[in-house]
Amino acid sequence: MLQGVSDLSIKQLLLGVNNVGSVHLSDIPSTRARNFLRGTDPTSFKQTCRALEKIKNSCTESDFKKALLFVRSSSLFDGTEIGQLFIDRCPNESNELDVKYSLSEILRYINQFADELIVLSDCAAKIIKHIDKGNYGTALDYCSNLADMKGTSVFLIRQLSYITNRYQLLELDDSEILRKIDYMKQRISLSRSSFLEGAVTQLSNLRTSYIATSKRIQDIKEDFQGKEIAKSFVQPIPSNLHEFESVLSDYFSFSLFDAFLYIAKFQSFSLQYLPSNQLDVDLFLSYKKISSIKFSPEKMYKTVDEDAGYYYFRESFLFNEQKGALRFQSIHGYYYYDAFRSNLKNLIQKQLVNDYFSNVNSLEQLKYTNSDNYVVKSEKYDSTTCGMLENSTALIHLLERKQGKLDTREQELFVELMSYTRDVGEVCPKEILATISSIAQCFRLKLVVNCLITINNKTQVSEHQLRSTIQDYCIEKFGGDLNLLIQHLYDISPAVAEHLLLTCDEKFLATLFRIVDRPVDAIKVRADMLYWYGKISSEERYLDRAKMLKIDIQINKEKGTIDDSRIYVDPFKYTQWFEDQMVGKLTMAIDNLLISEHAVVNPNWKHMGVGTTGDVIELLLACYKEFCDNKSFGIASYLGRRIRHGTFEGTASTELKALYTNEEYKHLFEDKEFATKFDEWLNQYELMISELKKNALQIKSKRKPSGCFSTDIDTPQKKIVADQLIFEILRIYSKRSGVIRLPSVIIDYCWRLVELDLTATKKLLSEKKSSHGVFSYTPKFGSSSYKRQYSKFSQEVNSLTSQKFGLMASWFNKPNYASPSTDIYLLFNAVISEVKDSFRDFEPKIDQGQRSFTINGGTYYVIYDALFVLIHNAARHGKSDGKMNFFVSIPEDRTNAIRLQLFTELDSIDSVDKALSNIEEALLNTQGDADEFDNKSGMKKLKKLENEGSISELQFYSKPEENMLCFDFHFELDSRGKYDDLDS
């Protein structure tokens, strides 16, 4: 490595920092605290953490600070993962030793170790210098040198990420660079600080959503080392002294070098709340060596085009010691940060924004077309050279100044600007967009703005407005032809046309009832739109999707308003889980695979840690396991609520048992030999059904080894599908929309994997039908007429088992989500029919007239579940031929909910009172697994639906004069619930 005489000298000096003069054990006033440290093995991270936690909990804050500083400055504890003021390896962030230091406390240490910091700064400047020149191998040598001198820091992590990005974006072909990157990650034990590593990687990854990643970081509530550092990557300029000290303290907890760089950066930036000239002159001059080097976008990217400003913005926190980078990030980040923290205004950044856009006063001054010359500027907005990012923030700046009140000409310009802006729907305040929509003088603008509103504000009201606008515009101008509407918008703005195309998926189109007559028509319209757009844009993925939809139209018959393929995984909740828990880990693993020294894709699904694809495989297996095993939105939730809670057994056996009392066959059971044989057959049949329910129709696990649904890639057919998933992910990942498409691609392939188990499940049901579902009896004596009666009975039994097993097999078809909309009264009728399959005597007197109430979206499964619980209980405990009334209405004080009321008749007032008592008892005990409460799990489920937000205002009461039991609840139109253990 590159080490000069001064470097070696400072290395030796830093190895013995404790001798320079810092906190000594005797400086800690508390005898108790000193004794805790004396009894600690300084090489043990756990013991040292435990001792410091005891001091934190039993001594004063001052004692704890001094004890922690003693550990961080003493050479005795140099090997522990807690870290030191100067470190050669990253500290372990998994500790609860977070403590806040003041600016004055940290400055004291910076001035005390000024000489050491100056030499580290000189080495850091060499790293920056060689990066700027494109000498990445030499820069990595100096990175190693910095670590050897105990200069491991967040600064070093940022530079490693920057070099990694250059390798990918510039498409370098140098295995030595990859080897050095891998070596440095191991050298500094980067995995100890996995949260910071992930934050740096994901924020600067140009394929991931910047807003989603930033929001996840800003929404972190718990305190831990590194949290404030990560937040400073998103919000680089602190609003006040308290915020500044909070971030500074977190940097100080990582390394003294990082704390020095943070103070120096803002001494150079001249924040009003910070005293000037806090640092020694020589220290500040050493910092200037780092900050004076300016990275040029021309060197950073292969081409400088309309997206270069956005790319530069995404990466600027990696090198924001450079004043221009800090300024550029602060100006444009102001609007991105404001998108999810609108209640917090940073006045310092606001002043920078006003200065940057001071030369812009009207929409006519913005950019409307591509150009040949692009320059990323941090001083002033320039429409002649700006890219899409700068043009977008300029537009939002003007919209805020005008409060969304645009004149006729500006309304036309707003639509045209959609072809040269980005992220407007996510970043522009929704109030501004709502104002523009309310004053829009033409359908075109209203359509564009309502599309933008639904991007970041998907409520029942906003989607209704968008549907209404699309239908009004389409009917008035294009005779109801959506394809002509898309083509017209494409001539105005390809970006708007593409956005509308993505909005108008099959589910959305099925709700355009004025121009799409039937749900199946939505598939055809969607296919036509995708085909046209694929042709005009030369995008094969749109053409492929169009072909698949047209095939679906041919092979799938219209199933009515309710999909009878009952198995279901909620794609919304799964995507939410994926974005919260998996997207960061998976993108980092894919990046590591793509830049690894031996990037060979060799999937091994049984030994995840083998080969370079091991991390990716492990994470994809976790995605598949969640898809199957999650008890709220996965396959397991369906198996729990639909198979194991009564439907399966009732459907399989109820009508067979009814044959005992059937007038046509009742006399046959007077034959004891026949009755005994049928009893034995039915007993074996029911044992088989019970075995299926308890052991086969389960997620396979150690407890359920015979489960039909495996979360492993355990068959050759599954391996083929899983291998295709990896190659598909790698294929789309390099594209701009790759990361956004990951959830839908993974869901699609998860269904392909599950479909193999579904096929095996249906095969198993068929085998069980053949082995246990066939009854035959021929009496030894009697006339031909007499024997024909037994033969007819056997045919009746076998016909019933064939019918029921065919029905149950259909429950394990891969679902078609093309039309998730239905009339709630039809939904009610479907539940009645299903419950009748389990209770043959259940014939309620229903009077619902010609009422109808249409609801769209996959959420009607919640209504289905709630009604099933209530009607199933009514059939079991109520009057089998009693009155039943069902009403749907909109509450007067609510716009985002519907009210559902169910009235069921019981045999007597005593039965009503008993039912009320049983319900109250059931609702008192809503803890535990639903399987443990066979008779009460229904009421428990209703309570859980209420607790997780899918329904509300759940209440029950009686009408004594009519012997009626009444259930009343609200269904929340805006809620998809939380992904907790809802259906356990």
pLDDT score of 549 more than 80: no
d(CA 661, CA 789): 16
Tens-place pLDDT, residues 677-728: 999 999 999 999 999 988 999 999 999 999 999 999 988 888 888 888 888 8
Q: Dihedral through CA 889, CA 892, CA 896, CA 902, nearest 10?
A: -30
Identity of the amino acid at 911: S
The two structure tokens encoding residue 365:
């001054």
Check residue 372 and give its pLDDT: 86
Tens-place pLDDT, residues 797-835: 999 999 989 888 888 877 655 333 456 787 788 788 878
What is the percentage of the chain residues whose pLDDT exceeds 90?
36
Low-confidence winner among 229-233, 287-291, 603-607 (lowest mean pLDDT): 603-607
What value does the mean pLDDT of the chain take? 83
- Taking residues 508-516, what's their average pLDDT? 84
What is the percentage of the chain residues whose pLDDT exceeds 70?
86
pLDDT score of 246 more than 60: yes
Q: Higher model confidence: residue 674 or residue 208?
A: 674
CA 725 to chain centre: 19
Query: pTM for this structure?
Result: 0.69
Check residue 308 and give its pLDDT: 95
Tens-place pLDDT, residues 933-965: 234 356 777 777 787 777 888 888 888 888 888
Tens-place pLDDT, residues 187-237: 999 989 988 998 999 899 887 788 888 888 888 877 778 899 999 999 999
- Taking residues 746-751, what's their average pLDDT? 87
The two structure tokens encoding residue 572:
């919304």
pLDDT score of 551 more than 70: no
Overall CATH class of domain 821-972: alpha beta
Low-confidence winner among 18-22, 313-317, 731-735, 845-849 (lowest mean pLDDT): 18-22
Give the DSSP per-residue string, 750-805: HHHHHHHHHHHHHHHHHHHHHHHS------SSS-HHHHHHHHHHHHHHHHHHHHHH
Band of residue 867 on the pLDDT scale cut at 50, 70, 90: confident
pLDDT score of 60 more than 80: yes
Check residue 764 and give its pLDDT: 94
Find tokens 């769209």 and name the residue: 856
Q: Coil, strand, or helix at residue 903?
A: strand
Check residue 682 and give its pLDDT: 93
Q: What are phi and psi of 953, to 5 degrees?
A: 55, 35
Check residue 19 and give its pLDDT: 40
d(CA 820, CA 215): 30
CATH 3.30.565.10 segments of the chain: 821-972
d(CA 623, CA 616): 11
Tens-place pLDDT, residues 621-669: 999 999 999 988 889 888 876 676 557 888 888 889 889 988 888 888 9
Across-strand partners of 964? 905, 959
Check residue 860 and give its pLDDT: 58
pLDDT score of 7 more than 50: no
The two structure tokens encoding residue 505:
């998926």
Judged on CB neighbours under 10 Å (0-12, 13-18, 19+), 344 is: exposed
Tens-place pLDDT, residues 897-922: 788 999 999 988 888 888 888 888 77
Q: Look at phi and psi of residue 150 and say left if phi exceeds 0, alpha if psi is from -120 to 50, else beta.
A: left
The string over 289-302, giving b where at least 16 C-beta atoms fall within 10 Å of a residue's C-beta and e elsewhere, is bbbebebebeebbe
Band of residue 850 on the pLDDT scale cut at 50, 70, 90: low
Find tokens 């329910």 and name the residue: 693
The two structure tokens encoding residue 721:
């599908």
The two structure tokens encoding residue 258:
């990082």
The two structure tokens encoding residue 492:
């105005």
d(CA 36, CA 98): 18
The two structure tokens encoding residue 952:
């509300």
Band of residue 10 on the pLDDT scale cut at 50, 70, 90: very low
- Taking residues 284-288, what's their average pLDDT? 94
Q: Which helix (H) or strand (E) holds 562?
A: none
Tens-place pLDDT, residues 12-55: 444 444 444 467 888 888 889 888 888 888 888 888 888 898 99
Check residue 237 and give its pLDDT: 93
Find tokens 């939410």 and name the residue: 576
Q: Which helix (H) or strand (E) holds 965?
A: strand 964-972
pLDDT score of 849 more than 80: no
Low-confidence winner among 78-92, 335-349, 386-400, 550-564 (lowest mean pLDDT): 550-564
Tens-place pLDDT, residues 364-393: 999 998 888 999 999 999 999 999 999 999
Closest CA to 295 of 271, 313, 269: 313
Q: What is the 3-state secondary structure (H, E, C) of 242-258?
A: HHHHHHHHHHHHHCHHH
Q: How many beta carbons lie within 10 A of that of residue 270, not counting itself? A: 8
- Contact, 689 vs 648, CB < 8 A? yes
Q: Which helix (H) or strand (E) holds 334?
A: helix 323-340
Tens-place pLDDT, residues 459-475: 777 778 888 889 999 99
